């Protein structure tokens, strides 16, 4: 989430090129490692489950709680970074990430493992919020900030791509514990460097920190996720309905609270803009499809196919590598093709890839992985740009929070949804593990195709009404929300 745009960044003496380079180096290392934390654990899960005696739902929690915790903590992290100091908040995030990695690596059972993953997710939210804010106040020109933001996104994407391979290599060469413990020396050195190099700054007019909004948003997300996961258990319909009701009531309370605040915790009025709302939904759905498919394929390749963790990492590498390529190529195509048409093309390619994966095993033919990765990367990159462009300049911070939360919550919810659906088919209807996973991927491809069709129509319709704008330019015609 970007710092609040209501006031100019706090002035400080310009930083030297050498110091700016050091800042970028710290961010690159930390974000690459953070991206890998989202995927390297997925490859290590079969070994971890066997040694720690994890049940199916505990395995699923271990996979998705990192991203869910990141999404829940994203908005309060950005607010607290503005209020307490960005360097302090970033350094605290690094310290929390180190402690959480130690706890997760030393976990004797599911409880400590999941607690460590929650800590890692909260630490990741603190680091992302600090990174975005520090870039904005430290880099003096739009071009230098654009380069820094691009490097940030590329680093995180590279980490996601390398995660399965890193996780597989560590599990085979050492033990699963080192999937977490490898973070400790790297992040420890990064903490020392951050204390020495990063500049301190605060927002002189920070956003409000509303405890009721924080509690309501947290209850909403966790109640809906718990309702989803309870579907995998027998005779759980009452619990699922009750949790769903709690989540919806908390969501209603959150929305009503924002309307009463003079300066909302999150300006939900932005969702009145159809383009912004569809882009946020597209990011969440595409990230969910990508990460949910990655989770199921990792389990399928190792548990069903009997491949080693390293072989599984190599087999899944085309998916992550293609997503990075799609994220780089799609923005470049905007010189010749509109963002709306590029996004629709990404929807089509990603849907085709998801369908191909059902027919062709990825270990024998990587075409499905390549198509899904390429399309998903394109949709996420273009939708991010269009989301930020469609928001008024005065709402840059809120739009950034929506975008970053969509990425994190989409990833966690995707793993939870596909994993729960597969468990439901296996435990309730007696499907084999392989059949359950294939059915879950097929159902997700069908739903994503329907969403892509609807979202594509809205994006094309909105794109034809007004010209897209770059972030930071005057608000788009459809963005009529009044300033705070």
**Burial (0-12, 13-18, 19+ Cβ within 10 Å), 218:** middle
Distance CA 128, CA 86 (A): 11
CA angle at residue 350 from 448 to 479, to 5 degrees?
70
Residue whose C-alpha is closest to residue 1's, from 76, 87, 67: 76
> Do 15-198 and 268-471 have matching folds?
yes
CA angle at residue 271 from 269 to 275, to 5 degrees?
135
Highest mean pLDDT among 3-12, 202-211, 262-271, 325-334: 262-271
CB contact at 8 A, 269 and 481: yes
pLDDT at 177 (0 to 100): 92
Global pTM?
Answer: 0.80
Q: Where are the domains of the chain?
A: 15-198, 210-264, 268-471
Q: Which residues contact 333 (CB under 8 A, 6 or more apart)?
A: 342
pLDDT at 252 (0 to 100): 93
Helix, strand, coil percentages in the chain from 3-state DSSP, rounded to 5:
80, 0, 20
CA 322 to chain centre: 17
Task: Tell me the backbone φ, ψ of residue 436, rounded to 5 degrees.
Answer: -65, -40
466 vs 140 pLDDT, higher one:
140
Question: How is 412-479 classified by DSSP, letter by letter?
Answer: HHHHHHHHHHHHHHHHHS---HHHHHHHHHHHHHHHHHHHHHHHHHHHHHHHHHS----TTSSPPTT-
CB contact at 8 A, 283 and 403: yes
CATH architecture entry for 15-198: Up-down Bundle (1.20)
Q: What is the pLDDT of residues 194-231, one digit of tens each?
A: 999 988 887 666 666 788 988 998 898 888 888 877 76
Is the pLDDT assigned to residue 465 strictly greater than 70? no
Q: What is the pLDDT of residues 428-446, one digit of tens each?
A: 777 887 888 888 888 888 9
CB contact at 8 A, 71 and 118: no
pLDDT at 468 (0 to 100): 43
pLDDT at 3 (0 to 100): 39
CATH architecture entry for 268-471: Up-down Bundle (1.20)
Quickly tell me which residue has 């390398």 as its tokens: 162
Distance CA 269, CA 482 (A): 10
- 12 band by pLDDT with thresholds 50, 70 and 90: low
Number of neighbours of residue 263 by Cβ within 10 angstroms: 14
Span of 289-298, 304-313, 351-360 with lowest mean pLDDT: 304-313
Q: Which two tokens stand for residue 323?
A: 């997503």
CB contact at 8 A, 194 and 91: yes
Distance CA 275, CA 281 (A): 10
Distance CA 328, CA 333 (A): 9
Contacts of the segment 454-458: beta carbons below 8 A, 24+ positions apart: 455/278, 455/281, 455/282, 455/285, 455/347, 456/343, 456/344, 456/347, 458/274, 458/275, 458/278
Residue whose C-alpha is closest to residue 70's, from 405, 366, 315: 405
| Sign, CA torsion 48/50/54/56 | positive
46: three-class secondary structure by DSSP: helix
Span of 127-136, 267-276, 470-479 with lowest mean pLDDT: 470-479
Quickly tell me which residue has 């939708």 as its tokens: 383
Q: Which two tokens stand for residue 275?
A: 């383009």
CB contact at 8 A, 317 and 370: no
CA terminus-to-terminus distance, the chain? 17
Distance CA 229, CA 114 (A): 15
pLDDT at 472 (0 to 100): 39
């Amino acid at each position: 989430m970007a710092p609040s745009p209501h006031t100019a960044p706090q002035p400080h003496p310009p930083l030297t090129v050498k110091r700016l380079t050091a800042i970028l180096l710290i961010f690159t290392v930390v974000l690459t490692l953070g991206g890998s934390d989202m995927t390297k654990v997925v490859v290590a899960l079969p070994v971890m489950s066997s040694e720690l005696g994890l049940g199916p739902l505990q395995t699923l929690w271990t996979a998705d709680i990192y991203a869910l915790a990141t999404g829940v903590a994203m908005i309060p992290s950005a607010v607290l970074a503005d209020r307490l100091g960005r360097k302090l908040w970033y350094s605290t995030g690094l310290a929390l990430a180190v402690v959480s990695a130690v706890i997760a690596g030393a976990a004797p059972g599911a409880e400590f493992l999941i607690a460590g993953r929650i800590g890692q997710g909260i630490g990741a939210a603190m680091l992302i919020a600090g990174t975005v804010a520090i870039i904005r106040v430290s880099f003096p020109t739009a071009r230098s900030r654009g380069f820094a933001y691009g490097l940030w996104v590329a680093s995180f994407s590279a980490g996601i791509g390398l995660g399965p391979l890193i996780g597989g290599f560590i599990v085979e060469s050492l033990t699963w514990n080192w999937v977490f413990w490898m973070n400790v020396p790297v992040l420890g050195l990064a903490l020392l460097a951050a204390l020495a190099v990063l500049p301190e700054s605060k927002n002189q007019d920070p956003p409000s920190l509303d405890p009721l909004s924080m509690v309501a948003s947290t209850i909403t997300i966790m109640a809906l996720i718990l309702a989803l996961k309870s579907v995998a258990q027998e005779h759980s319909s009452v619990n699922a309905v009750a949790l769903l009701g709690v989540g919806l009531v908390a969501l209603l309370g959150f929305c009503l609270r924002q309307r009463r605040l003079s300066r909302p915790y999150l300006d939900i009025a932005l969702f009145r803009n159809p383009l912004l709302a569809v882009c946020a939904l597209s990011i969440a759905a595409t990230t969910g499809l990508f990460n949910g498919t990655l989770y199921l394929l990792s389990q399928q390749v190792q548990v069903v196919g009997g491949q080693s963790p390293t072989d599984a990492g190599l087999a899944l590498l085309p998916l992550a590598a293609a997503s990075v390529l799609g994220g780089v190529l799609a923005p470049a195509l905007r010189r010749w093709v509109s963002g709306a048409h590029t996004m629709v093309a990404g929807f089509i390619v990603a849907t085709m890839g998801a369908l191909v994966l059902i027919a062709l095993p990825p270990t024998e033919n990587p075409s499905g992985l390549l198509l899904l990765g390429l399309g998903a990367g394109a949709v996420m990159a273009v939708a991010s740009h269009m989301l930020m462009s469609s928001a008024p300049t005065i709402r840059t911070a809120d739009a950034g929070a929506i975008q970053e939360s969509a990425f994190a919550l989409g990833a966690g919810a995707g793993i939870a949804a596909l994993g729960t659906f597969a468990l439901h088919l296996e435990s309730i209807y007696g499907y084999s593990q392989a059949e359950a996973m294939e059915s879950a991927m097929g159902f997700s491809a069908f739903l994503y195709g329907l969403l892509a069709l609807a979202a594509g129509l809205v994006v094309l319709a909105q794109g034809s009404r007004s010209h897209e704008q770059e972030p930071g330019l005057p608000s788009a015609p459809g963005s009529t929300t009044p300033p705070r």
